[in-house]
Amino acid sequence: SLVYLNGDFVALEEARISPLDRGFTFGDGVYEVIPVYNRRVFRLKEHLERLENSLKLIYMRNPLPVEEWKRILDRLVTENAGDDQSIYLQVTRGVSPRDHVFNDEMQATVFIMTKPLEQPDNSAGSAAIVRPDIRWQWCHIKAITLLPSVLLRHEASLSGAREAILVNQGLVTEGAASNVFICESGKVLTPPKSRQLLPGITRDLVIELLQQNGIECSEYPVPETQLRSADEIWITSSTQEIVPITVLDGEMVGSGQPGPLWQHAARIYRDFKQ
Ligand code: PDD
């Protein structure tokens, strides 16, 4: 497939990055994953705004103007296979001698690839486990430094689960790679934005769409006990959309089937995507 690396469009096999890239030595960079439907980049403005914010929080300037990001993404989406794709883009602080300390002269490394995206079929429901949130204090930054999340997803997969739902000081933060919603007496709740969780683009859209469709949805802290007694649990992300969690730590969630509010939300989301 065609990828973008520092100004060049090249085949993935041809792309080369120095082992001294700070992304490699320090995990010093940020990223975005953006879905493409019918060759149209979905929620591009929101993803580019979040990227801008992640960069600012790690003391980096955005290496490219918005128009240039759009031009590059358009070309990749046009030339790569699949009407539906998922874009992975990452910006690192660039190549430098291995020194924790950085300076303003460093040239960012920009890498972008896409792959075909299958429409998810979430109707069967999925399992999740609950784990302590072992990540750092700045989870609102979409950092490429993902070792805790990798280990948590590994634990989930060893338990036959799709996701690890994380708890910090008794409160649900998010999934290792998703945001979390719960339903209780016909109402939907999701933890408010904070430095403990990523402000998911899907999360924001789901809140907006539910409210527009007359389903009560509020941002409110969710204690672990409330998660465990919820009628429904959903996780959301750009590539997975809205996934009903029907088994939590081996116990049925509600009836053990995807719930009525999930059915409704998934339909609203599907219609909006078209
Ligand atoms: N992950 N929280 C975390 C920790 C995430 O990594 C993600 C996305 C989300 C959901 O965000 P969004 O709705 O903007 O996709 C929440 C991406 C998909 C990934 O790392 O592959």
Pairing of strands 251-252, 187-190: unpaired
In which residue are the tokens 């989870």 written?
A: 139
pTM: 0.97
Domains contained in the chain, CATH given: 2-116 (3.30.470.10), 126-273 (3.20.10.10)
Which residues, including other chains, have CB under 8 Å from residue 122's CB and lie 6 or more apart? 240, 241, 242, 243, 244, 258, 266
Give the ipTM of the model, two decimals please: 0.98
> Residues lining ligand 1, judged by CB closer than 6 Å?
33, 174, 177-179, 198, 200-203, 236-239
Closest CA to 203 of 172, 245, 236: 236
Q: Look at residue 274 in the predicted model and tell me its pLDDT.
A: 82
How confident is the prediction for the chain on average, in pLDDT?
Answer: 98
Tens digit of each residue's pLDDT (9 = 90 or more) over 25-40: 999 999 999 999 999 9
Q: What is the number of the ligand 1 atom nearest to the C-alpha of 202? A: 13
With cut-offs at 50, 70 and 90, classify the pLDDT of residue 175: very high
Q: What is the number of the ligand 1 atom nearest to the C-alpha of 239? A: 18
* Interaxial angle between packed helices 201-212 and 260-273, expressed in degrees from 0 to 180 and rounded to the nearest 10: 100
Alpha-carbon span 69 to 79, nearest angstrom: 16
Alpha-carbon span 7 to 206, nearest angstrom: 35
- Residue nearest atom 3 in ligand 1 by C-alpha distance: 177
Which residues, in sequence order, are bridge partners of residue 37?
Answer: 40
Tens digit of each residue's pLDDT (9 = 90 or more) over 76-117: 999 999 999 999 999 999 999 999 999 999 999 999 999 999
- Residue nearest atom 5 in ligand 1 by C-alpha distance: 177
What spacing in Å lies between the alpha carbon of 178 and ligand 1's midpoint? Answer: 5
Q: What is the number of the ligand 1 atom nearest to the C-alpha of 88? A: 21
Q: Which structure tokens are listed for 7?
A: 């100004």
Which residues, in sequence order, are bridge partners of residue 113?
Answer: 88
Task: Please indicate whether residue 273 is annotated as part of the active site.
Answer: no
Residue 135 identity (one-letter amino acid):
R
Q: What are phi and psi of 132, to 5 degrees?
A: -60, 140
